[in-house]
Structure 1
């Protein structure tokens, strides 16, 4: 079987590529330019360290930065650092997040600036290609460095800790590379795990936000809604880019369908959809830009400056941008999910669908009644998870590290919120498609008809009372395919 190939060069990684590396059957290769940048930084780091103090190489870390490491203790110092910091706790994070972490750290080192031995690049690529993963517990980072996760990775490279997964898992059967003691802090001083999870979350957010527009258009058609709220003049009058984009997408989806509206004004779930969903589109795009910038950055502390033949001690380890961007995206996601739940409510009403209550087979049947409960249960979780992680704070290491942005927790909350959002949107899709089927109607053509045909191809057409859990699961799984009709 031939694998697709991803080439890592330190400059061109994006969130979708991270997702492919984490989830697909791909081979990871390293561009020569990335290896050369890493080698130049490694050479420079060694030269500078011989001339002046360098944090983590000639000193302790954290509050121990004022303690110099004697040259005869240098080999042991880095190993002690790795052993002491490989102390995460709790359940292990998902394998795809660990693969995303390895991909991001590989790319960061290839960007130049870490000073880590360039041989580690091939070792990380080998681990990915062999299906090997370091054990990474959930608790241990707060957005200022994934020290525990990367220290665990380093111990796997050293053969002190067993790799997980794959036929070559074990302490001595992984990639043949021994991380140098002097490179210990440089290797673990990164937010690669947080950024890897953020990249996965952003890629999924983009897909689901696109799918939402398709599902909302199906619902609008099912309730005989008005196209007036999507008219160009409306959005030229209030020209927020996301709002304009959403309205244009709905017009495209409804281009083959122009039924007379059943009422002069629709509920907010339809009438205000561009104004509520537009901010989600913009928030996700901004988050994607922020994460892409971070995963291609040499955001190291200290930063090895090859051109200047020096190192710079700095604060690029702090991922405030990422945490705040994801916090904003979750808040916007909750707002648009609340509209989805509101539209689901209209799809149970005879006044909107012309069907029995709850789209039931008979007047006394329950039909899709339970979908509202499921959707609001999921919505409650998304509302809980929308709380900004950035409102937390921490003072650590004897007071010298006196701030944290908790981007790690923001990334995890975003991952969890996505699960609830998929379920809520799946419920709306089941209801919209069922209503159109029972009305004997279908989109006339174009991308909306393509989306409808995809849905009817997998969703059960029976309307008698029966368990709907399989329908919800199928609808949720279909969302990426629906997104593709407008998010090519």
Structure 2
């Protein structure tokens, strides 16, 4: 298949068995994570490429018949300024150059790869009217692991204009690549806005942060189960009959996972206390909302990464052009705010269980799980480390959706600040990982000191791996390396999602 310019259409070859086929409608969060990590070949389906060609032809026809924002006009408050359609190398290039602010730190390669994939898939949804060679160039860059330098700043939730301008300028040969490169492509009329009109970078960060939190929340079941064993918890708090009486989905799932980890061969041994501290007893009720929040974020992001949300929308079916507000990402911003708040509550319970683990009244062991002479500090410092991370998480959990802005001479008078929500969510994930790692180090140490390894098949296997990973040192010693080891091991504890 060839395009209108006579060039071969990308995606026309047969995809490999491990490749990801882009069709503009079926990309999911797991796909984004896999490509972000590198090594996954990406190809565009022939049907998607055909749709992109038709969208481009429709945009060209519409631009010759009526005003089209960003194609025959300026942008923002310049929406009424008429521009020619024959000077793309000046008007479209000026638009890209003027929007590439390039402030802030460069984004990590995994975020940029994820953003390029999302933008490629959105363009494959065929609503932008962009020239097909931009799709070819993005596909080629992903196949060759070429990654442009993209900076963090300049986006407020109405389109990642600055960062996407940098990607477009790299594709057209006007800005440098961080690694690799692809042959530069020329601009056609309307290409600049068609490429910029997206929140792909913000969505990439949201996907990566949301999926990391999803793994951490799943792993927290195992960490909590280890603490439960060390603390001699009561099984009554996780009983199916209890959660059937108030069946919030996440809480039901959390309790079921705890039963799966803790109850084996019908063993319902009573706990040491008639009622456990909240860190154990209220775990499903606090953990459940966070699980539900991850699910809700995934549902929203699934729609976003497959959306033809460019303004204006070029509709091939009707030949129409529709100016709209699909650039607003309020759904994602609110979901990210909700998730961070829920994770903060979960992290508080982890820190509370850590406090229980260093208390002899709950474990029957020495204060701070010390194993040396009287006055030894044991894991005392872990509470400081955990509460430092919890404090940082608390700062990042604050809502960003309470702010707004009025810019471009008053024409653009609302913003979701979703990029800030995604950035804060990534920070929250890192800090929650630290809190959970501190609890994990203490739980493993307590089980070792008590010589009571878990008996259940799943939990025993996890404990065995951790027992072989974390050094067994009784005397006081620096704990930082152990926290780092535990933090790296947490993803392996996630189990089923």
For Structure 1 versus Structure 2, the TM-score category normalised by the shorter chain is over 0.9
> Equivalent of 2:210, from 193, 198, 202?
202
Residue of structure 2 aligned with 1:287, choices 270, 280, 297 = 297
Tell me how far 1:233 sits from its aligned partner: 1.5
Cα shift at 1:118: 1.7
Residue 175 of structure 1: how far off its partner (Å): 3.3
* CA offset digits 1:42-80 (Å, max 9, x no partner): 111111111111100000000000111134545421111
CA contact (8 A) 2:149 2:178 kept: yes
Between the aligned partners of 1:270 and 1:366, the Cα distance in structure 2 is: 25
- Aligned equivalent of 1:471, options 482, 485, 490: 482
Structure 2 equivalent of residue 86 of structure 1: 100
Unaligned runs of 5+ in 1: none
Deviation readout 1:391-446 (Å, 9 max, x if unpaired): 11110100000000000000000011111011110011111111111111111132
Contact 1:157 1:179 (C-alpha < 8 Å) held by counterparts: no
Equivalent residues in 2 for 1:303-318, closer than 5 Å: 303-318=313-328
**Pairs within 5 Å for 1:52-91:** 52-71=66-85, 73-91=87-105
- Cα contact 2:24–2:48 (8 A) shared by 1: yes
Partner of 1:332: 342
Q: 1:389 to 1:190 in 2, by over 3 A?
A: same
> Please, which of 338, 342, 365 is the counterpart of residue 355 of structure 1?
365
Structure 1 residue 303: deviation in Å?
A: 0.6
Secondary structure of the equivalent of 1:390? coil
Q: Separation in 2 of the partners of 1:402 and 1:290? A: 24
Deviation of residue 122 (structure 1)? Answer: 2.1
CA–CA separation in structure 1 for the residues paired with 2:141 and 2:365: 57
The 5-angstrom pairing of residues 25-64 of structure 1 reads 25-64=39-78
Q: 1: CA distance between counterparts of 2:487 and 2:85?
A: 58
Q: Which residue of 1 aligns with 2:8?
A: none
Whole-Å separation in 1 of the counterparts to 2:19 and 2:408: 42
Larger mean Cα displacement after TM superposition, 118-127 or 145-154 = 118-127
In 2, the alpha carbon distance for the partners of 1:448 and 1:258 equals 15
**C-alpha offsets along residues 265-298 of structure 1, whole Å, 9 cap, x if unaligned?**
0111111111100000001110111111100111
| Distance change in 2, residues 1:159/1:74 (3 Å) | closer
Does the Cα contact within 8 Å between 2:88 and 2:187 map onto a contact in 1?
Answer: no
Whether the 8 Å CA contact 2:173–2:183 is kept in 1: the answer is no
- Give yes or no for contact 2:72–2:83 (8 Å, CA) kept in 1: yes
Which residue number corresponds to residue 5 of structure 2?
none
In the other structure, the counterpart of 2:229 is 221
Matching of residues 418-457 of structure 1 within 5 Å:
418-457=429-468
CA contact (8 A) 2:86 2:189 kept: no
1:119-158 to structure 2, matched below 5 A, reads: 119-158=133-172
Counterparts of 1:436 and 1:33, CA distance in 2: 57
1:264 counterpart residue number? 274
- Map 1:151-170; keep pairs closer than 5 Å: 151-166=165-180, 169=181
Q: Is the contact between residue 150 and residue 163 of structure 2 (CA under 8 Å) also seen in structure 1?
A: yes
- 1:81-124 C-alpha deviation (Å, 9 max, x unpaired): 01111113121111111111101000000111011112212211
Deviation of 1:31 after TM superposition, in Å, equals 1.3
Runs of 5+ consecutive residues of structure 2 not aligned to the other structure = 1-15
1:187 is displaced (CA, Å) by 0.8
Contact kept in structure 2, 1:3 and 1:26, CA below 8 Å: no
- Aligned to 1:231, which of 220, 239, 260? 239
Q: TM-score, normalised by structure 1?
A: 0.96
Residue matched to 2:13: none
Q: Say which SS state the counterpart of residue 449 (structure 2) adopts.
A: helix
| Offset, 1:3 | 9.5
Give runs of aligned pairs for residues 181-192 of structure 1, distance below 5 A: 181-192=189-200
Question: Any idea what SS the aligned residue of 1:399 has?
Answer: coil
Q: Give SS of 2:237's match.
A: helix
Partner Cα distance (1:438, 1:474) in 2: 20
Aligned length: 479
Matches of 1:308 and 1:71, distance apart in 2: 22
Query: Does 1:7 find its partner at 2:4?
Result: no
> SS where residue 152 of structure 2 aligns?
strand
How does the TM-score come out when normalised to structure 2? 0.94
Residues 116-141 of structure 1: CA deviation (Å, up to 9, x unaligned): 11221221122122222222111110
SS of equivalent to 2:19: strand
Tell me how far 1:236 sits from its aligned partner: 1.3
